[in-house]
Amino acid sequence: MAEKNSVNKYRVHLIETDSALDRMLSFFFTNLASNATLVPAEHAEIAVIDYDAPKATAALDRFRKQVPDCPIVALAYDAPAEKNLLHLPKPVTLDQLEKFFDDAPWQALQLEPQTVETELQTEPPRSPKEDLTLPVQTSTVWNLPQDQLSEELYDARHYLQGWLQRAYRQANLTKIPVRLLLPEGPLYLYPREKVVVTPMTEAFLIETCRRPLEQVVLEAAPEAVLSEHEEGSHFSMRAFLWQVALYCSRGRLEQALVKKELFLFKRWPNLTRWLRTPSALPIVAFFYNGPHRIEEATTDLAVPQAEVQALLSAAAALDLLAFPKKEITSPVEVPQLQRQERSILRGFLKRLLGI
Amino acid sequence: MVDREIKILFGGPFGSGKTTAIECLSDIGVVRTDAEASDVVGRVKPTTTVALDYGLIELDGGRRIHLYGLPGQERFDFMWEILSKGALGMVLLIDNYRPFPLRDLEFFLKQFRPFLERRALVVGVTKMDLKPKPEIEEYQAFLEKKTLRFPIMEVDARSREDIRLLLQTLLYSMDPTLGRKDAHG
C-alpha cells in the first residue's frame, strides 16, 4: 500500500470572500493542516467558505458555476438556509478544523451503503454486442524514430511540450479557452470540455515536435466555440499532452529528470486511450510496482533505454511520477508466481500479443 | 487447479460488461449458468436470476486459462469466495453509466479485500462514451485516498483490443518481465 503523503490529503478549495477568516483558513491549510491541502477549484473534492462574509453569496455562485458537484462546507454562526451546504459552526478553532477533515463528513453524503443489485439503467441504443469491429477509439502504438540523436537530454520549455504545458496552466486557471498560434495554424484548448483542437495531422505534429519553438503566441480566446471545429481534430487534453511529450522526447530524457535516481509511477496512465510505445505496458508496470532506476528497467525488461526515457518524460509532463529519495518497500504487493504459473502466463501473454 | 491451469476472475456490477469481455477472449462460447430464485426472494421476484459466466482459453501443451465472470448480485457473494479460490488475479469492470460508480468500486474492493491483498487486480471503466464522468483521474484519486494502488483504465468491453490491453496489464502487473524474449518459463 502507498505510504501516506501529500497525495493522500483531502484537496480543499478556499472560496475567497476577502474576509479576515479567509486569511486564517489559508494559513491553516497551507502551513498547519496534516490532512488537507489547498488546490484550485477544478481539482477540489471539498470547498470551504466564510458564509457570513459580505461577498459570500456572489463567491458561492461563481464557484458553483465552475464546479457544480463539489460539496461545500460553510463556516457560519447560524446554519445556512440552503440544505445542500455542510455547516461548521463559528467560532471555529484550528483543532475543530483538523477534526472536521479527519471525520470527512461530506463522504457520508457520497458514500451511503448501496446494494449492488440495482435495476438495469436505461441506456441509449448501442450497436449489437456481437459486433466487435465497432469503431471504438483505442490507443495506437508509436515506434520511436531510429535517427541518432546527438543529445541525450531535451528542455521541454523550448519545445511544443513546454508551450502546451503553459497553455494548460492558463486554461485550467481561468477556465477560458486558450489559443496557441503555431506556424501550421492555431491550436485551441477548451478547459471546461478538456479538449484540444488542432489542425495538424499526426505526421505534421511529429515534425513540429522535432524542432525547438522559441516564439509562440499564447492568448486567451474567449470567443472560441468548440462546436465550430471539425470533429476529426479533437483530442482529450491529457492524451494530447502525453502524445506531444513522447514526440518531443523521441527517446531523450527531459532535463528536469536528469538528477533523479529513482522513478515511481504514482498513477497508471490511461494506455487504452493514450499513445503507447511497443513496451509501454511492462515499463509502466515496472515503475508502478516499485521505484527503480532507468538502467534497471533497461536490463530487467530488455527494452531500449530510449523508450524508457520517452515514457518517463511523458509521465513527468502529466505529473504521474514520484521520485523517492531512497529505495523503499514496494508500494504494490506483487503476487509470487510459481514456475508453472509463470510459464502459463507467458503463453497467455503471447496469445494476447498475437504472437 | 492442476499444474497446467490457472484461473482469472471477472468481477463488477450487473451490466458492466463481464460477459462481453469474456466473449472477447474465450476459445469456446461463453457458458452462462442461470438459476431461478427458489427461496423467499423468488416469492417476491419470481423472475430473478443469477448468471455465472465461464470462458476458456486453450494454449499449447494442454495449458488452460479459466475465465470466470462472477455474478454481480450481492446475495450471491458466497459464490465469490468459492470462485476466488486458486485465482491468480481479477479484472474488475465498473460501469460508468450507473449512478454511483465510485461506490460500486468501493463495494467490490471491500468485498474482495482479502483476495486483493495477495492477488493482482486491474480495473476497467466501461461506458465512458455514454457518461464521461467520473473521469479516470477521479477514480485514481479515489483509490489514492484509500491508499490503494491498482491500474485503472477506460475500456469498451466490446473492443477486443481494449480487453487484450486490460489483460496484458494484469499480467504485467504480476510480473513486468513476463514478456522478455529471452525469458524461460
pLDDT for A303 equals: 95
Q: Which of residues 77-136 of B touch A (CB under 8 A)?
A: 88-89, 95, 97-100, 102-104, 106-108, 117-120, 124, 127, 130, 135-136
User: Does position B4 have pLDDT exceeding 90, yes or no?
Assistant: no
**Digit-coded pLDDT (tens) for B56-69:** 998 888 888 999 98
pLDDT for B44 equals: 44
Mean pLDDT of chain A: 82
Q: Using a CB–CB cutoff of 8 Å, tell me whether B76 touches chain A.
A: no
Predicted confidence band of residue A234 (pLDDT cuts 50, 70, 90) = confident
Residues A317/A272, Cβ–Cβ less than 8 Å: no
Angle (CA) A33 A34 A37, round 5°: 60
Q: Do A8 and B154 touch (CB under 8 A)?
A: no
- Of the two residues B2 and A47, the one the predictor is more confident about is A47
Predicted confidence band of residue A180 (pLDDT cuts 50, 70, 90) = very high
User: Does position B43 have pLDDT exceeding 60, yes or no?
Assistant: no
pLDDT for A156 equals: 94
Q: Do A343 and B164 touch (CB under 8 A)?
A: no
**Digit-coded pLDDT (tens) for A84-128:** 788 888 878 777 788 788 777 776 554 433 333 333 344 454 443
- Select, from the ranges A135-149, A218-232, B7-21, the one with the highest average predicted confidence (pLDDT): B7-21
Nearest chain A residue to B72 by CA distance is A116
**Digit-coded pLDDT (tens) for A289-315:** 989 999 999 999 999 999 999 999 999
Sheet holding A234-236, edge to edge: A217-220, A178-182, A185-190, A195-197, A234-236
A335 contact partners, CB below 8 Å, separation of at least 6: B88, B89, B118, B119, B120, B174
Predicted confidence band of residue B8 (pLDDT cuts 50, 70, 90) = very high
Angle (CA) A132 A267 A277, round 5°: 55
Q: Do B181 and A335 touch (CB under 8 A)?
A: no
Q: Do B179 and A279 touch (CB under 8 A)?
A: yes
Q: Do A301 and B177 touch (CB under 8 A)?
A: yes
pLDDT for A179 equals: 93
User: Does position B106 have pLDDT exceeding 90, yes or no?
Assistant: yes
Residue indicated by cell numbers 455465472: B52
Provide, as residue numbers in chain A, all residues whose Cβ is less than 8 Å from the Cβ of B159. 132, 134, 136, 138
Q: Do A116 and B6 touch (CB under 8 A)?
A: no
Helix (H) or strand (E) holding B174, with range, is helix B160-174
User: Does position A135 have pLDDT exceeding 60, yes or no?
Assistant: no
Alpha helices in chain A (DSSP H): 20-27, 56-66, 94-103, 106-110, 160-174, 202-210, 237-249, 280-289, 294-301, 305-317, 339-353
Between B72, B140, B178, which is nearest A345 by CB?
B178
**Percent with pLDDT over 70 in chain A:** 83
- How many CA within 13 A on the CB side of residue A178? 25
Q: Quick check: helix, strand or coil at residue A220?
A: strand
d(CA A96, CA A147): 61
User: Does position A50 have pLDDT exceeding 70, yes or no?
Assistant: yes
Residue indicated by cell numbers 479459466: B66
Go through B29-66 and write b for each residue having 16 or more CB atoms within 10 A of its CB, e for each that does not: ebeeeeeebeeeeeeeeeebeebbbbbbbebeeebbbb
Q: What are phi and psi of A195, to 5 degrees?
A: -125, 145
B24 contact partners, CB below 8 Å, separation of at least 6: A132, B157, B158, B159, B160, B163, B164
d(CA B82, CA A14): 48
**What's the gap in Å between the CA of A279 and the closest CA on chain B?**
9
β-strand partners of A14 = A48
Beta strand spans in A93-231 (E): 153-154, 178-182, 185-190, 195-197, 217-220
Q: Do A285 and B106 touch (CB under 8 A)?
A: no
User: Does position B48 have pLDDT exceeding 60, yes or no?
Assistant: no
**Digit-coded pLDDT (tens) for A324-341:** 987 665 666 666 777 888
Q: What would the mean pLDDT of A159-184 be, rounded to a whole number?
A: 92
- Of the two residues A208 and A107, the one the predictor is more confident about is A208
**Cell for A311?**
515514457
Residue indicated by cell numbers 488537507: A36
d(CA B96, CA A42): 20
Q: Do B149 and A342 touch (CB under 8 A)?
A: no
User: Does position A284 have pLDDT exceeding 50, yes or no?
Assistant: yes
A 10 A CB-CB count for A302 gives 15
d(CA B4, CA B59): 10
Pairing of strands A46-50, A10-15: parallel
Beta strand spans in B47-130 (E): 49-58, 64-69, 87-95, 120-126
Judge if the upstream peptide bond of residue A124 is cis by omega within 30 degrees of 0.
no
Q: What would the mean pLDDT of B71-100 be, rounded to a whole number?
A: 83
**What's the gap in Å between the CA of A19 and the closest CA on chain B?**
31
Q: Do A131 and B158 touch (CB under 8 A)?
A: yes
User: Does position A266 have pLDDT exceeding 50, yes or no?
Assistant: yes
> Counting Cβ atoms within 10 Å, is residue B13 exposed (0-12), middle (13-18) or buried (19+)?
buried
A 10 A CB-CB count for B21 gives 31
Nearest chain B residue to A268 by CA distance is B151
User: Does position A82 have pLDDT exceeding 50, yes or no?
Assistant: yes
- Of the two residues A108 and A192, the one the predictor is more confident about is A192
Between B6, B147, B181, which is nearest A302 by CB?
B181
